[in-house]
Amino acid sequence: MLRYHVESHPERGWVLREDGKTEILRFAASLETLYRLVPKYFGQQPALVLYHSVDGSVVERRIYPRTCDPAASEGY
């Protein structure tokens, strides 16, 4: 599963990048907008997305699609 980061950007607002790469895959003026765009970007492709605060610390981890997230399942 590939890892991606959502982080603050001085010129673009909030951006989505693949781990270890500088290319911006998606961007939005607000974090709320990017929260809506990210699931659509991945569709059914499994991905781990780390959401960062303005200071760079990780505040949330999400797995897309949400059906692939073991924490979201009911378990055994």
Q: How far is CA 29 from CA 3, 8, 10, 11, 57, in A?
A: 22, 10, 10, 9, 19
Buried b (16+ CB within 10 A) or exposed e, 10-25: eeeebbbbeeeeeeee
pTM for the complete prediction?
A: 0.84
Number of H helices, E strands in the chain: 1, 5
pLDDT digits (tens, 9 = 90+) for 14-61: 999 999 999 999 999 999 999 999 999 998 899 999 999 999 999 999
- Output the six-digit token pair for 58: 């990780």
